[in-house]
Structure 1
Amino acid sequence: MKSVLLLVVPFMVALLFVPQKEHNTCRSYFGYFNTFFSSDCYYNPDIDDDILGIIQRHVGVHETHEVQTEDGYLLTLFRIPRQNPKGVIFFQHSLATDARTWISQYNESVAFLFWRAGYDVWLGNTRGNHFCKKHVSLDPTEATFWNFTFHEIGYYDNHASIKYVKEHTGGSKIIYVGYSLGATSGTVYASIRDKDAADSVKLMVLMTPTSHSQFNCTSFLKYPFFIFYNLQGIVNFTDPLFVVNRQDAWYVKIVRFLATHFSCKKCVLYFLHLFFGSSKYDIEPDLINMFIRVHGSEYPLKITYHYYQVYAVDGKFRRYHYGEERNLLLYGDKEPTPYPLENIKVPVYIMHGENDNLDCPDAAEKLYNMLPKNTTIYGKLMVEGYNHLDFSHGRHRNEKVYSKILQLLDKINLND
């Protein structure tokens, strides 16, 4: 019996890390245990291609644009152009990702759905991510390059990107769709650049805005939240050492390799549930490797720490807390300045998940109730059974989320 186990156990362990060269996609989670011989598995070129190659394969047209922010960052925008479009739509991604989020569901990708529905589609990128590591005078190896949070992304990046898109599409107002960090920064932009936003944005769709959550959420992240919050004054979060997900970092390469080649893909889902909430609509088996591929773009821990300040203190959506002395210099008060949500003039449509552990339902409701009444005329939507990640890769995402946005846009266009 022992000799049999000595032969079988190493073989079973080896199966967990079978290299997936020809077959990188399976229609069932069980198929990943034997990608070479399972009839459920096949090769999908999207997984090994770059963003422009994927767009070219599924749509056939694309453009690349570069935008400079007021503080000198150079941002890359991708466009899927439309002749005589119904409207112009701008997508802003979540934390630790980039524009690839919107083209990572193969032919059913969000960007392609809206393009086929008749919209001129623009995909944004924020400073420091995979496509935006350039500045007019700073280098990514310098600490100053990474000295930003979602505040700068909202105030500078969103402003520059939206202004550029508007100017290059005839000057009409655009539709802004922000997911997680993209929703947080969108809220920042609309509240402190309220006049510009009112002039440039027709509708702001905020999916899982993560602006008022607290520790009453059940995410496993509450524990590192506590640790990081208590490191205040000890760790310099603007140091380049504290940049997460560097593409060339050894730990990123190892994690991505193991996650891609790990046969028990269901285990990956269970791990994600700890952080983002349980889900009735987990990632489809044929999307899991693409999901792993596109999640991993650089960002400074200072962004995370800004979120920690919101989560750990009182759930208030405020600017970065530098300490009483510096707060007095920057804000004229010992406490960080709250974002003036009452200034928002753009119509806002909030979407959040029932099982979201990062942007809990009560937090999304709190944001909704704090907005001016004239901006919530289109209401809100809580998606039953959805967690935080389902808005990008959950099953039935087009039916439960993006078709609802398209229906709302059709309604708005009819009323114009």
Structure 2
Amino acid sequence: MSCRTMNVRCYFLLMMTLNHALQCNDIFVNETARSVETTRVLNKVRHVFRSSGKQFIVHQRIRPNPNEASLTTAEIIAGRGYPVEIHSVTTSDGYILELHRIPYGKGQKMASTASRRPIFLQHGILTTDNVWLINQNGLGFVLADAGYDVWMGNARGNTYSRRHVKLDPSKEEYWNFSFDEMGNYDIPAVINFVLAKTGSQKMSYIGHSMGCTMFFICMSLHPELNEKIDVMIALAPAVSMAESTAPLAVYQAPFAEQIKFVFDLIGVRAYEPVDTFWNNLRKQHCGPNLFLRYSLCRNTIFSSSDDEYHAFDLNILPIIDGHNPAGTSVKTAVHYAQNYMTGQTFQRYDFGHRENLLRYGQTTPPTYDLSKVTCNVFIFWGQRDKVSAPKDIAWLANKLGNLKASIMIEDPLWNHLSFLFSSDAKRLVYDKLIPLLPLPTS
């Protein structure tokens, strides 16, 4: 390894460690305890948004409402004129997850919800379910208007799912999880909860990035749940990471264990929560200016994927900042780093030889058996995606037990976050995935 390469990597290690050391005391700033009630319907609070819900027309396009940067997911939904419910789901290992539901579309009648087919959306790493809503034609709204009963999940450890029946999120023990636990515990809990609430026998599932990781783990470890999924749509699935060229993989993954050691030493528990000194500074001063956005003000979710703002309405960037990054565990980032360093594989968390033997009965972590994913799966992928690289998508397609199609987005510049934030997402992705779903009413 050249001295220059070593210096670059050491620089990234040092800057990342110092950044998180500065953020450590800010992790739980502005965290308020949420009610433990299972459901809250927010239709009655729409009047709060009379002033903030205005639509501003610019060049025949609806300008995003900048006030949404400081609103919760439920407030964004209500402010757009949709019904919304908040549900709490407790996993078998005690984590309390918050789900948000749009039971029907704008102007539709509540009485028709009993026959509507439920569809569940799961976000990726470092985000929350608001990524399905930030665009004016966000997938959550598009599906609700198409007649579906839309449920949106939040992974353990993010802004909305930071509670536990016993563990304190300010303590290290709470953060002892990776995406392995998310797939093993979170997804089974939400599938069973949604089906019980709706009385439906099956549901559809759409995941982005880690939302796909979680799903494939769930179906590998709990194959009986395949029977409860009629269709799974995988947007930019993050499984094998061997061909990734994203900075988070290339520059940080080789030092993942050392970074985790330093974080443990200085007491960093959460990885990239939203309320940190740097994120708050960026929210206050950056705006949509492109020069700043490609230099000092780049949001972590973009810098880690090295995505361009291709076909974006730049006015949504401050709104994205208001909610993301939303935090996860350091162990989750390390788990992705392990998969990158191991090559084309999809394996469980590597605890080291001794603990692997105790946990798995072997010195190396076992791989997830993707052939056990027997529900109908459709993959959508982008040619410019540096996180879920095309060669890794091809590897995944060959491993799945029941792949129906692997669909390349027509735009050659389509990247990892284009699925969520591009102004062309509805035309190039959402309008094409809806015909693959069961009819919205039974």
Normalising by structure 1, we get a TM-score of 0.82
Aligned length: 375
CA displacement, residues 158-185 of structure 1 (integer Å, 9 cap, x when unaligned): 1101110010111320011111111111
* Counterpart residue type for residue 404 of structure 1: K
1:213 aligns with 2:241: yes
Q: Counterpart of 1:397?
A: 425
* Counterpart residue type for residue 174 of structure 2: F
User: 1:340 and 1:78 mapped to 2: Cα distance?
Assistant: 31
User: 1:308 and 1:190 mapped to 2: Cα distance?
Assistant: 22
1:1-400 maps to which residues of 2 (within 5 A)? 44-82=66-104, 83-84=112-113, 85-106=115-136, 108-195=137-224, 197-214=225-242, 216-229=243-256, 231=258, 234-235=261-262, 241-260=268-287, 264=291, 267=294, 275-277=304-306, 281-372=310-401, 375-376=402-403, 378-383=404-409, 384=411, 385-400=413-428
What is the CA-CA distance between 1:206 and the residue it aligns to? 1.3
Residue 287 of structure 2 aligns to a residue whose secondary structure is helix
Do the aligned residues in 2 keep the contact of 1:64 with 1:76 (CA within 8 Å)? yes
CA displacement, residues 52-103 of structure 1 (integer Å, 9 cap, x when unaligned): 2221122331111111100001111111113245421100011111111111
Identify which range, 266-275 or 328-337, moves more after superposition: 266-275
Do the aligned residues in 1 keep the contact of 2:288 with 2:315 (CA within 8 Å)? no
Do the aligned residues in 2 keep the contact of 1:316 with 1:338 (CA within 8 Å)? yes
* Counterpart residue type for residue 303 of structure 1: T
Q: Counterpart of 2:27?
A: none
* Counterpart residue type for residue 382 of structure 2: G
Do the aligned residues in 1 keep the contact of 2:139 with 2:430 (CA within 8 Å)? yes
What is the CA-CA distance between 1:264 and the residue it aligns to? 3.6
Change (3 A) 1:413 1:25: closer
User: 1:176 and 1:41 mapped to 2: Cα distance?
Assistant: 30
Residue 359 of structure 2 aligns to a residue whose secondary structure is helix
What is the CA-CA distance between 1:125 and the residue it aligns to? 0.7
User: 1:170 and 1:185 mapped to 2: Cα distance?
Assistant: 24
Residue 175 of structure 1 aligns to a residue whose secondary structure is strand
* Counterpart residue type for residue 57 of structure 1: G
Identify which range, 198-207 or 155-164, moves more after superposition: 198-207
User: 2:130 and 2:278 mapped to 1: Cα distance?
Assistant: 21
* Counterpart residue type for residue 401 of structure 1: V
What is the CA-CA distance between 1:277 and the residue it aligns to? 4.8
User: 1:307 and 1:95 mapped to 2: Cα distance?
Assistant: 10
User: 1:168 and 1:129 mapped to 2: Cα distance?
Assistant: 24
User: 2:130 and 2:86 mapped to 1: Cα distance?
Assistant: 13
What is the CA-CA distance between 1:231 and the residue it aligns to? 1.6
Change (3 A) 1:113 1:238: farther
Q: Counterpart of 1:7?
A: none
Give structure 2 stretches of 5+ with no counterpart. Answer: 1-51, 105-111
User: 2:250 and 2:241 mapped to 1: Cα distance?
Assistant: 15
CA displacement, residues 1-45 of structure 1 (integer Å, 9 cap, x when unaligned): xxxxxxxxxxxxxxxxxxxxx9999959xxxxxxxxxxx989644
Change (3 A) 1:230 1:25: farther
What is the CA-CA distance between 1:133 and the residue it aligns to? 1.2
What is the CA-CA distance between 1:289 and the residue it aligns to? 1.8
User: 1:357 and 1:401 mapped to 2: Cα distance?
Assistant: 19
What is the CA-CA distance between 1:229 and the residue it aligns to? 3.3
What is the CA-CA distance between 1:268 and the residue it aligns to? 6.1
What is the CA-CA distance between 1:194 and the residue it aligns to? 0.9
User: 2:246 and 2:168 mapped to 1: Cα distance?
Assistant: 35
User: 1:153 and 1:222 mapped to 2: Cα distance?
Assistant: 21
What is the CA-CA distance between 1:257 and the residue it aligns to? 2.8
What is the CA-CA distance between 1:204 and the residue it aligns to? 1.2
User: 2:427 and 2:296 mapped to 1: Cα distance?
Assistant: 22
Larger radius of gyration: 1
User: 1:323 and 1:154 mapped to 2: Cα distance?
Assistant: 21
Do the aligned residues in 2 keep the contact of 1:25 with 1:44 (CA within 8 Å)? no
Do the aligned residues in 1 keep the contact of 2:288 with 2:317 (CA within 8 Å)? no
Residue 294 of structure 2 aligns to a residue whose secondary structure is helix
Change (3 A) 1:173 1:220: same
* Counterpart residue type for residue 149 of structure 1: S
Do the aligned residues in 2 keep the contact of 1:114 with 1:121 (CA within 8 Å)? yes
Q: Calculate percent identity across the aligned residue pairs.
A: 27
Change (3 A) 1:237 1:157: farther
Do the aligned residues in 2 keep the contact of 1:277 with 1:387 (CA within 8 Å)? no
Give structure 1 stretches of 5+ with no counterpart. Answer: 1-21, 29-39
